Amino acid sequence: MAACTHLDQVRDVTPSSMEGCSECLATGGQWVHLRMCVTCGRVGCCDSSPNRHASKHAAAEDHPLASSFEPGEDWTWCYVDDVALMIDIPHPHRLPYPGEA
Ligand SMILES: [Zn+2]
Ligand SMILES: [Zn+2]
Ligand SMILES: [Zn+2]
């Protein structure tokens, strides 16, 4: 199993949005799934989404770790090492979205 060397970039963050991808909300875009940067709290859309804001943010800001922002999911992805991690971070996103309870 591949190791991730970026765990020192995990911060105690507040999500930039509880509603969805911050950039898609601003531009009227659509997303499929959401990820949250665990370094700064930026919420962005996944690589299955048209705009892939989460991976763009990871590359642009050098913030390689993003945690799933989907209810019930608590894995974290490293965009540099291409590996999924289970790390203990606060998960405000575990709360179900309206209608998904
Ligand atoms: Zn890594
Ligand atoms: Zn987006
Ligand atoms: Zn970030």
In degrees, rounded to 5, the angle at the alpha carbon of residue 54 between the alpha carbons of residues 49 and 57 is: 135
**Residue 100: pLDDT above 90?**
no
Locate the domains of the chain by residue range. Answer: 15-87
15-87 CATH choice from 3.30.40.10, 3.30.420.10, 3.40.30.10, 3.30.300.30: 3.30.40.10
C-alpha 99 to ligand 3 mean position (Å): 28
Q: Which residues does residue 44 pair with via DSSP β-bridges, in sequence order?
A: 35
Tell me if 74 sits within 8 A of 94, measured CB to CB. yes
> What are the pLDDT digits (tens) for 30-68?
999 999 999 999 999 999 999 999 999 999 999 999 999
In degrees, rounded to 5, the angle at the alpha carbon of residue 8 between the alpha carbons of residues 6 and 10 is: 90
C-alpha 28 to ligand 2 mean position (Å): 9
C-alpha 96 to ligand 1 mean position (Å): 28
